[in-house]
Each structure stands twice: as C-alpha cells, then as structure tokens.
Amino acid sequence: MRTTCPLDCYDACSVKYNKNKLKGDCEHPLTNGYLCPNLNQYLSEPRIQNARYNGKNITNDEALNILYEKLKEYEDKKSLYFKGSGNFGYMQNITKEFFSKYGSTFTRGNLCDSGGEAGVIEGRGKNYSLTPSQIKKSKVVVVWGRNIDSTNSHMLEIIKDKILIVIDPVKTTLAKKADIHLQIRPRSDFHLALLFCRFAYIEQMEDEEWIAKHGSDFDYFLDFFRSYTINQLLDSTKVIIEDFLTALMLIQDTPTSFLVGNGVQKYTNANETLRAIDSFVAMLGYFGKEGCGVGFLGNSTLGYELPFSNYDVKTTPMATVDFGEFDLVFIQGANPANQMPNTNKVIDGLKKSKFVVYYGLFENQTSALADLVIPAVNFLAKQDIRFSYSHEYVGLMPKLKEEEFGVSEYNLTKYLLARFDYQPLEPKAKYIEKIVESNSNFDNHYITSRSYDRLPYSEDDFHFEFIDESEDESELKDEEGLYLITPKYKYSLNSQFKTDSFVYLHPNLGYKDDEEVTISSNYGELKLKVKNSDNLREDCVMIYSGVDGVNKLTPDFLSLEGDGATFQEVKVKIERA
C-alpha cells in the first residue's frame, strides 16, 4: 500500500506500508527505494497514548469536553491558534475551520523560510520549486546554505555527476566532495551575491537580451552593487579569491542550478539575501531556461485551489508571539518551547497563559508545560495529501489502518464545530478530491502539479525586479563573540526523534572533547559538552536544531520582511562550566 512521508522535509518521499513496516517506494522517480533515518525510526518512537489534564490521564472524550468548556469560559479574542509543521499533510489545516469561526488569533510568517521567501517574491513574484527534472539538465550545481546530506538526501543521486560548488561556513560532508567549497563567513551571503555580480559585470557575463525583455531596474541595480568595493566584499565574505573566481568561471555560459537552503536566511536581512542571489542569477539570464534557476524551498501548492486559507482573522508573527498575552493557547503539531527563538521568553509566556493545550504525537518540552494534552493519531490512521517544497509531485496519504489511540484533526474539528453549533465539515475525501482535481496531472501511480508543465519563469511576460537598495543595519559583524550556527541534525526532524546534545567548536579554541562549557548570549545560556571539529570556522559555534535549550540563545526579532525568525542573528560566548 502506497502513502507519503508526513515529515516536514524537502523530499516528500513516496512510501510503501506493509505489515506495520515502512519502506521506500522503488518506482518513485525521487524516493528511489529508500527512506532516511527519520522515517525509519518513526514507528518505534514512543507516542503519547493518553489524554492528560493537569497531569492526570483522562479519556479522549473527556479531553475534548474540557477543551470545549475552556473555549466557552475564556474570551474568544484572548485565544491563540498556533500550528507547527510536525505533520506536513495539508488536511492538518482543517482545525482552522473551527478556530477561525471561534475568533482566535492566528500566526503569520513562520519559523522556517518566510524571511527568505519574501525576497523571492519581491524579485520573481512567485516562488516555484526548481524541480529535479531541471536540476538533472544542469552541468553545475551550486549548493548554497543547504545541507543536502542531512535534509534533502534524495537530491544526492540527482546531483552526483555534476560539477559541485558548495557555499557554507561549515565543511559539510557535501562540501568535502565538492569541486569548490567557499567556506564563507556566516551572514555574508548578501555580500557574496554582490561580489558575484561585481565580477560577472567585469567579465561581461550579463545576458543583455534577457535583461531587456524581463528585467526592471537593472541600471539602479548596477549602481547599487558597484557602490560596494571589491575589497569590502572580499573582506566581508572571507572567501578565497582564487576559489571564488574559479566558481564564477564554472558557472559562466553553463546551465547551473542554485539550490539555496535555510542557512542563508536565518538573519534579519533574509529577504535581501535571497533577492541578491536571485538578482545575480537573473543578471546571467538563468531563469526560465532549461537546467537553470534558483530553488529556495519553493511552493508546489501554486495553482492549487486550497481550502482552509484566506481567513479573515487577526494575526501575530509566529516567531515573536507572546503566549502570555493569551488566556487560551492551542498548539498543534509544534514544539514552541524548544523550536521557537528565545526559549526563556516562550516558557515564561506559556506559564503565564491560563490554559495551554498541546495536541501532538510525542512528548516534548511543550507537552510538559501544557494543562491539557491531546494525543494525535499518526499519518497512517488518517487521510491526507501533501506537497513538497522541492519537487512537483503531490503525495496522497490514504488511511491505511485504524486509530489505536488519539484523535484525528478532522474529528477534533468536527466535534468542536458541532458543540458550538457552527456549520459542519464536508466529508474529508471531498476536500482532498477537490484539491487534486484543481491542478493535477495523473501519471501511473503518481500525481504532479500542472503548474510545472511549462518551465517556470519561461513565460514571455515574466518580470524580474532587481535589487537596488539595502535596509540592513545589523552590527552583528562587529559584536564580540562567536557566530552561532544552528542547522538541522541528520537523525532528528526538528525536535522529533533522536536529538543531539553537543556544542561543536574548532579545536583552536582550546577546549577538550566532552568538557562541559557554558554558552551564553544576550537572551540566555545553556551548558553542553564539547565536540571538537575542524569542519568549523574558528569564529563559529555549531549547535544543531532540536538540541534541548539551543533556542535559549537565539533572538526573537523578525526579518526585515516576511515575518521570519532570525535564529542566527546573534553572537555567543563560551566559558568553562
């Protein structure tokens, strides 16, 4: 029986389920027959089996009734609906049908890519994925702030014969295999993009015909990037000029895919960085051409008619939400007490709020603080559909087994709508049918989005707006301390499954392996054991996402545009504990 991995991940693998085992689908062009460590450990991860109220086990029916009573007791305006991406299935959004009618505040932006995506929209208008079929046609692949070995592992097969350029402050496994690795200073990708523009212009690499047809504000863009001196940009990025120039020459007149990841945009200037990278690529005329383009996460829901969207509700930015301002907080599929920035503030807020509901599969730092815990059912026991943020395949997720325990999102919503006498839901299958019908191609067992039938950005009237100013006023570069790099861990999916527990430091900093140190920032501190790694730069500290307490160190302010989180807009200090 075929289904799709529910985890928040680029690959959206097609999965075969049989006799309580999950296996990779051999026929799927991307999944290629194997799954990653995360889905492989999914079924053995201990689940929340009982609902809980004030620490005592109760039945699911009692839990739903308590939720109803509390929603009645507190003011609708003082309630918050907070949904994470623990299950990427689209039908997870169905709970919005109730909470929008009830009058809760929703969140906007996200903890993930909304800062960077704002920059893509400013330049290109829409953020299409760069699909594997296009990447296959390129000769050179530039992996820019994306850790493909851990986070997007099915891409490895697709890029294996390509000339590979990696831009990452960390010497990742992929960087070690690359033809060129630019071990950039963190937070200098904006300047690196401008440095590329500077030299591309000197080498007359710009595609005048493409720019005349599709570009606007190119002259302002020219003035803008030439207002930075080459020395200034080299000094900021710390790249080795010979390697940089070789990278540029490899890209010249050659179909090139830029796979940009989350690493470049965990800063306040997230949108400007993405727009500057896009502007460089647009200058070369590499949009709308076979084997070319920029993939920054991306959106394969484009063109689909989606329910559970466009509600007229009050919103607050997700990354800075103050839980303490709400009487009732409903948290679904998320672990804000570990994954949101500024954990100390988050925990204070959750403690201050009068009633916190955690609705999820696994125990975590948030369930430990909740007044009411409602167990969810896993993806095998409910019907859903999911999209990917790196390819055009749409994954069906049929219901393959009965619920052992827990409540599905559909049933929870149905219950609350009925108790409040609101309009009932349509049958679940009907929503999914309508979504699928609105924009799909059907090929054998698989569904793809029709929006990718023609090459994205190849339409005659495609219009690109070059960047011509910067509002970035960050002084992080001049602050004392070490940059904090906090990427994804191979064996956890954000805070789900086996999280890591080390701080990684360059050996020249003089700490011993397994020695305990205190890492501190303006927001808080934590103690961790050291692992030395010469894959890091000496000015960096690395702690993986998901590590208990990592976000005690991270700031809760927003990107300039897009209401994005800025986990790495911070420097930290290390002391012997």
Ligand X SMILES: Nc1nc2c(c(=O)[nH]1)N[C@H]1C(S)=C(S)[C@@H](COP(=O)(O)OP(=O)(O)OC[C@H]3O[C@@H](n4cnc5c(=O)[nH]c(N)nc54)[C@H](O)[C@@H]3O)O[C@H]1N2
Residue 33: left if φ>0, alpha if ψ -120 to 50, beta else—which one?
Answer: left
- Binding string, residues 39-58; x marks residues near ligand SF4 by CB under 6 A: x-------------------
Verify binding: residue 375, ligand X, rule CB under 6 A.
no
Which residues between 131 and 170 bind ligand SF4 (CB under 6 A)? 153-154
Verify binding: residue 270, Mo ion, rule CB under 5 A.
no
- Specify the amino acid at residue 557: F
CA 169, 497, 82, 308 torsion: positive or negative? positive
**What is the DSSP annotation of 110-174?**
-SSSHHHHHHHHHHHSS-----HHHHTT-SEEEEES--HHHHSTTHHHHHTTSEEEEE-SS--HH
How far, in Å, CA of 455 to CA of 421, rounded? 47
Token pair for 320:
């800075």
Verify binding: residue 7, ligand SF4, rule CB under 6 A.
yes
Verify binding: residue 339, ligand X, rule CB under 6 A.
yes
Verify binding: residue 11, ligand SF4, rule CB under 6 A.
yes
- Binding string, residues 515-534; x marks residues near ligand SF4 by CB under 6 A: --------------------
Query: Judged by CB under 6 A, which of 215, 261, 291, 456 binds ligand X?
Result: 261
Q: Which is nearer to ligand SF4, 39 or 350 (CB)?
A: 39
Token pair for 235:
């000094």
What single DSSP character describes residue 490?
Answer: T
Verify binding: residue 319, Mo ion, rule CB under 5 A.
no
Number of residues that bind Mo ion (CB under 5 A): 1
Q: Which is nearer to ligand SF4, 11 or 465 (CB)?
A: 11
Token pair for 545:
């996402």
Query: Judged by CB under 6 A, which of 31, 147, 183, 449 binds ligand X?
Result: 147
How far, in Å, CA of 316 to CA of 302, rounded? 24
| 293 alpha carbon, distance to own chain's centre | 20
Verify binding: residue 172, ligand X, rule CB under 6 A.
yes
Helix axes 241-251, 189-202, angle to 10 degrees: 60
Query: Judged by CB under 6 A, which of 4, 131, 365, 551 binds ligand X?
Result: 551
Residue with tokens 């929870």, as numbered in its chain: 412
Of 6-14, 288-296, 517-525, 549-557: span binding ligand SF4 (CB under 6 A):
6-14
For Mo ion, the nearest residue by Cβ is 112
Cβ(340)–Cβ(353) under 8 Å? Answer: no
How far, in Å, CA of 14 to CA of 100, rounded? 32
The nearest distance, CB 207 to ligand X, in angstroms, is 25
Verify binding: residue 187, ligand X, rule CB under 6 A.
yes
| 411 alpha carbon, distance to own chain's centre | 28
Token pair for 246:
């070789």
Task: For residue 246, list its beta bridge partners.
Answer: none
- Binding string, residues 107-146; x marks residues near Mo ion by CB under 5 A: -----x----------------------------------
Residues in touch with ligand SF4 (CB under 6 A): 5, 7, 9, 11-13, 35-36, 38-39, 153-154
Residues in touch with ligand X (CB under 6 A): 8-10, 38, 84-87, 111-112, 144-147, 150-151, 167-170, 172, 184, 186-187, 189, 261-264, 332-335, 339, 359-362, 364, 376, 379, 485-490, 492-496, 545, 550-551, 554, 567-568
